[in-house]
Amino acid sequence: MSKQRKNDPIDSLAEGYEQMLERAVKDAYRSEQKTERHLHDLIHDARDKAVELGELTHHEADGIAKYLARDLNDVKTYLSETGHEIKDWLGFETSLLETEILSLLLKAADDTTVDLMLLKAAAEGGEKYLTDQVTGPGTLVCDECGEKLQLHRPTKIPACKSCEGKSYHRR
C-alpha cells in the first residue's frame, strides 16, 4: 500500500494485515532463532515498519499485530495438534486463496517453526474472533448460531448474517 490511505478503511486494514504478515513470516522463515519470543518481536518489527512507512496508524498497527499473533498461533496449534492440512484449518480448498497468502501461511506453519507460537491461547481454550477485528483467511463459526463464515482473504470480521452474533471461533 502506498503512503496514501485507501478510501475504504476495511480494505486498508486488510492490506495492512497482509503486509505485516508478509514481513513477519519472511523474517521468521529466514531467521535462525525459532522461539515464540522472536516471532513476537518480528510481528512488532512489522508493526513498527507499517507505522514508519505511513501504511497504518500506530493504533491500527497495534490491533493488527494482535490479530496476526492470534491467527498464526491458531494455525500452528491446529496443525501441530491435529496433523491435518492447512485446507482443513481454513475450512475450504486452498485453491480459493491468493497464491501469496497461501505461501505465507504455509511458511508460517512449516514444521521447523511449529513451536514458534504455541501461546497461552491453547491452554485457555482458544482465541475468540470478534466482529470488527481483522483476521486472515479461513472459516469462522458463529458462537451464537453455528453459522459458518468463509473468508478467502484477510478482512474485517462482520457480524453474523444469520443472527447478528459478534463472536466466532475457528472451525
Percent of the chain exceeding pLDDT 90 equals: 29
Task: Please check whether residue 138 lies inside any domain of the structure.
Answer: no
The answer to whether residue 60 is domain-embedded is yes
Question: Which of 40, 137, 156 minimizes the C-alpha distance to 92?
Answer: 137
Structure confidence at residue 108 (pLDDT): 57
Digit-coded pLDDT (tens) for 90-100: 666 555 555 55
Considering the domain boundaries, does residue 3 fall inside one?
Answer: no
Residue 68 lies in a domain: yes
- CB atoms near residue 139 (< 10 Å): 16
**Looking at per-residue confidence, does 81 or 122 come out higher?**
81
Give pLDDT, residue 79: 73
Higher pLDDT among residues 103 and 5, named by residue: 103
For residues 92 and 150, give the distance between their C-alpha atoms in angstroms, rounded to a whole number: 8
Q: 113 pLDDT band (50/70/90 cuts)?
A: very low
CA–CA separation, 15 and 82 (whole Å): 30
CA pair distance 149, 24, nearest whole angstrom: 26
CA nearest neighbour of 17 among 96, 133, 140: 133
Domain that holds residue 95: 9-126
User: What is the domain count for the chain?
Assistant: 1
